[in-house]
Each structure stands twice: as C-alpha cells, then as structure tokens.
Chain A
Amino acid sequence: MEKPNLKYIEKLAGGDNSLKNKLIDIVKSEFPVEKKAYYENLKNKDQKKTEESVHKIKHKISILGLEKSYKIANKFEHDLREFNFERVKDFDKILIAISHYLKTI
C-alpha cells in the first residue's frame, strides 16, 4: 500500500509554513467528517450520497499524493453510479491508511 505524503501541499505552500499548516489543518478537520458521512451513507445503502462522499474524499486522496488509491477511488465512484459496491474493502484500506497518517502529522 502506497504511503500518503505532503508533497503537493508543500509545493503549493512554497515555503510558507503558516499556509502549509493551514492546509494540513483543513485536511485533518475535514477528513474525519467526510469519512463518517461516507460510512453512514454506506450503512444506509444510499448509493447517491455514498458516491458524493467518495467524490469528496477522492480530492483528499489526490492531495495526499496517493495516485494508485486515487484510481481505485475513481473506479469505485463510477461503480457506485451503477449500484456496484464491490470496491468497498479496497476503499476501506485507503481510508485506514489516511486516518493513520493524519495522526502522525
């Protein structure tokens, strides 16, 4: 499993530490909320809202440099449009990896 990183955020911040910290803080505060919403929507088998949750989380996945995971999330999002929930476990792994990583930064 690839590891999340801060390359994109650091490049965007261009050496401005306050901006870097601001971006990290937003990721750290928004991700748990989006993850919780995803699991609730999944539990309720609300396909449309689950797809929206995956879409939102997908942006965080890309910002954290997870290129392979981004592709998986993208496929999952498209599968959900056809009521296909097969990639739930793969997506779980991504969420776990990000959750662990955010505790370290």
Chain B
Amino acid sequence: MNCIIIDDEHLARVIIKTLCDKIKFIKVVDEFSNAMDAIKFLNTNNIDLIFLDIHMPDFNGVDFIKTLKNPPKIILTTSDSNFATQAFEYDFIVDYLLKPIALPRFKKALLKAQSQRTGSNKTILDLEIKNDFYVNIDRRLVKINLESICIVEAKGDYIHIKTQEKNYVVHSTLKKIEEKLPESLFLKVHRSYIINITKIVDIEDNTVLINRDVIPVSRSKRPGLIKRLDLL
C-alpha cells in the first residue's frame, strides 16, 4: 500500500514515517509540509492512502479534502479530539488518530484501511514486520534473520541469499522472497537482484556496492533507489 504524509510539523512526519517502517505492506512514497504541494503531487501520482493532519495553517486538512476528485483512503491525524467527528463525514476517511500516535492504535487504523481498500481481513499479526523467516535447504528448515540479508540474487530456478555470515541457495523465485522482505529495508534494483539498502557502501553510475559485491541497477530502478537514500 503506497501512502503519503501531509503534516506541517516535521516531527509529526518523522513519527508517522517511523510507525510506517514498522508495518508490512505500507510504503511512504513522499511527505509534504503543506497541502498545496500534496495536491500537485496527487495530480500525477496514484496513492492508496494519505495520512492527513487536519490542523494546518492557511490551507487545512478539511480544505484539502474538498479539493480531491478521486480521493484515496485517508487517515486523519490530529492533536485535537474535537476534530474527530469530521472523520465520519466522508466515506473515504478510514479513521482518525490522536497525537501522539501509539503503535497499537496505528496498526488498528491501518487494518481498517487495508480492509476497506481490498476487502481483506488481515490481523494485527499480518501487519507486523517479522525479524526472520525460514527457508527449505536440503530438507532442513533454516532460519534467516531478515536484517542480516545483504543481497538476494535470482539464478535460474534458484535464489542465492547472501547474509553477513553465510550464503544460502534456495529453490524459489525472486518474486516469492520479495513478498517476504520488508519494503523499509529492501529494494529490487534489477530483475535479478534485491538489495538491503542499509548495507549499501556506495553507488556509482548503474551499479551499487554491497560489501564487496558490485550489483547492477536497472535504469528504470535507479530513480527509486536514489529516492530511498538520505542525501545531504
């Protein structure tokens, strides 16, 4: 689920981004300190969900909602419970979250959003990012810690999983493992490669260095990769 955050407060945006990083299936594609910039963005981008601060100077959340022609799902965020009633005036408003937002409440709101968007009945457990997963190697189920994975490479009918300590060869597809990996940590940079973005050493032209491995980056994937970096 792609989302954007609209809040005039930097701290509030960082907090919501942090909460999103703890949840599977949600990816923050951009954040905005004012509603006008978000409107421009929405004119050319499709988004599944918006975290929208109601109380903003000049052009507030309610004004923003009125400009939307094809509104995505919206979760209102506010420091004022008096605004809560507005949460139920539009059917595309899924929930409202009172600041400071706690993770359990945040998860509930996301479950509602997911359920209304896709009709699925996911549970809170389905939303949590797992720390590890199991792969079948020579009839043994081997546990691999997700954060330790540096690179996943597709080779024919197999995938090679490189971690800090060991390499594993598993009979599976890149698509299957991509679904298991949290979007906050991993990015597919090439049709045959998924990388852990926290393990990047450097990026040069159309390659990325992970430990001592030089990984190709597709031309179409490069903008997405650059966007994920914390550039000065």
Q: Which residues of A contact B (CB under 8 A)?
A: 8, 11-14, 19, 22-23, 26-27, 30, 52, 55-56, 58-60, 62-63, 74, 77-78
Contacts and interface: CB of A to CB of B under 8 A. Distances in A.
Nearest to B22: A14
Contacts of B102: 8, 11
A42 B96 CA distance: 30
30 contacts: A8-B100, A8-B102, A11-B102, A12-B18, A14-B22, A19-B18, A23-B11, A23-B14, A23-B15, A26-B10, A26-B14, A27-B11, A30-B10, A30-B11, A55-B79, A56-B9, A58-B79, A59-B9, A59-B11, A59-B12, A59-B99, A59-B100, A60-B11, A62-B79, A62-B100, A63-B15, A63-B100, A74-B80, A77-B80, A78-B82
Interface residues of A: mostly helix, strand, loop or mixed?
Answer: helix
B19 interface: yes
Contacts of A59: 9, 11-12, 79, 99-100
**Interface range, B side:** 10 to 19
A62 B99 CA distance: 8
Nearest to A29: B10
B11 A63 contact: yes
B103 interface: yes
Contacts of B57: 52
Q: Which 8 A-B pairs have the closest CB atoms?
A: A62-B100, A26-B11, A63-B100, A59-B79, A58-B79, A59-B99, A8-B100, A52-B57
A78 B79 CA distance: 12
